[in-house]
Amino acid sequence: PPLDEILNLHDFEAVAKVTLSEKAWAYYSSASDDEITIRENRAAYQRVWFRPRILRDVTVVDWSTTILGQRSSLPVYISATALGKLGHPDGELNLTRAAAKHGVIQMIPTLASCSFDEIVDAAQPNQPLFLQLYVNRERSITQRYVQHAEKRGVKALFITVDAPQLGRREKDMRMKFVGDDAGAKVQENMSGVKKDEGVARAISSFIDPSLSWKDIPWFQSITKMPIILKGVSTPEDAILAFEAGVQGIVLSNHGGRQLDTSRSGLENLIDIVAVLKTRGPWPNPNFSVFVDGGVRRASDVLKALALGATAVGIGRGFLYAFCSYGEAGVEKAFQILGDEFEMNMRLLGARNLQEVVPDMVDASALQAH
């Protein structure tokens, strides 16, 4: 369908499903094992109900925010999704260019199919970019990569901590990886490609499973970028992260692609915010709590913000937007979300994101243990 018939982020997924190659669809859409967690990522949002407030003069509504010190037109950032060229010849550059036009922040994946420098070169001079890091067994490679990113102006480092080994994504494993798949040129970090275990496993064998809390000071010693741990699920680990002196966490299950039957980030948010509140001011300007997984509507984002999230990441929503429509698709996705924020905030009675407060949601069905 023509782009102007796309009405929401779900529509991009429906188009991607029928237009992508079988292999790209398998890699992008798959989740681990029985795909329970990916289902819950969506379902969790549907168990949170709004408590809208009325008569508040919502003529002017503002949904812009600051994420890790960077201005963002949306309380949403583009989360890292690997191998963009499986779905579109321009790969991740579609995201970079659209993000520039709309003031949105892109997280560059370690396993991008465009090189890191190609992506940074495609960005506007002051366009904020984040970097997602898979830590290499060979630490000198990681050190060079991180320090190069900092030199090139990347504003924050998101270290992925939920993937010491890649999850079993069986849809993807039924496909064989071919080295030059769709021209996917995975960067210098990749080594030891195994050709018979699906795309994800083929490209991830460099990742270091020995990574531990003891390594955090080393990251802090090699970069001044804020460090965020991507893939936290429990209050215990949220506290360890806080005490380690990092600048934030992402409550994420990697889009359902890692440990199946782990809970959704949204469900974990309430307990994690509660425990962080015992450790200092809240919201804490020095410690951000992000959520990702299953976010497809501005109303989803508003629920997470009401429950204490600083901002929210979207992976597949933007990925599917560029697979079918390139850069214009991503621009359309931003515009759709903006329209949804305007309407939902008016109907909710919030003129800005500070006014999106816990009392605006009823999450009692979320954690009915």
Task: Indicate which residues carry an active-site annotation.
Answer: 134, 162, 254
Pick one of 79, 96, 136, 268: the residue that binds ligand FNR (CB under 6 A). Answer: 79
Q: Which helix (H) or strand (E) holds 2?
A: none
**Nearest to 104, CA basis, from 84, 82, 130:** 130
- Give the amino acid at 253: N
Task: Based on the shown chain and the rule CB under 6 A, indicate whether residue 293 belongs to the binding site for ligand FNR.
Answer: yes
Are 300 and 344 a contacting pair, CB within 8 Å?
Answer: no
Task: Based on the shown chain and the rule CB under 6 A, indicate whether residue 88 belongs to the binding site for ligand FNR.
Answer: no
126 burial type by CB count under 10 A (0-12 exposed, 13-18 middle, 19+ buried):
exposed
How far, in Å, CA of 24 to CA of 30, rounded?
10
Task: Based on the shown chain and the rule CB under 6 A, indicate whether residue 111 belongs to the binding site for ligand FNR.
Answer: yes
Task: Based on the shown chain and the rule CB under 6 A, indicate whether residue 233 belongs to the binding site for ligand FNR.
Answer: no
Task: Based on the shown chain and the rule CB under 6 A, indicate whether residue 81 belongs to the binding site for ligand FNR.
Answer: yes
| One-character DSSP codes across 324-361 | HHHHHHHHHHHHHHHHHHHHHHHHHT-SSGGG--GGGE
Are 150 and 116 a contacting pair, CB within 8 Å?
Answer: no
Task: Based on the shown chain and the rule CB under 6 A, indicate whether residue 255 belongs to the binding site for ligand FNR.
Answer: yes
| Minimal CB distance residue for ligand FNR | 315
Name which of residues 140 to 199 contact ligand FNR (CB under 6 A).
160
Stretch binding ligand FNR (CB under 6 A), from 8-16, 89-97, 185-193, 315-323: 315-323
Task: Based on the shown chain and the rule CB under 6 A, indicate whether residue 28 belongs to the binding site for ligand FNR.
Answer: yes
Stretch binding ligand FNR (CB under 6 A), from 80-88, 216-224, 282-290, 337-345: 80-88
Task: Based on the shown chain and the rule CB under 6 A, indicate whether residue 294 belongs to the binding site for ligand FNR.
Answer: yes
Pick one of 169, 230, 297, 303: the residue that binds ligand FNR (CB under 6 A). Answer: 230
Are 92 and 327 a contacting pair, CB within 8 Å?
Answer: no
**Nearest to 312, CA basis, from 299, 325, 326:** 299
Task: Based on the shown chain and the rule CB under 6 A, indicate whether residue 264 belongs to the binding site for ligand FNR.
Answer: no
Could you list the residues that contact ligand FNR (CB under 6 A)? 27-28, 41, 79-82, 109, 111, 132, 160, 230, 252, 254-255, 257, 292-295, 313-317
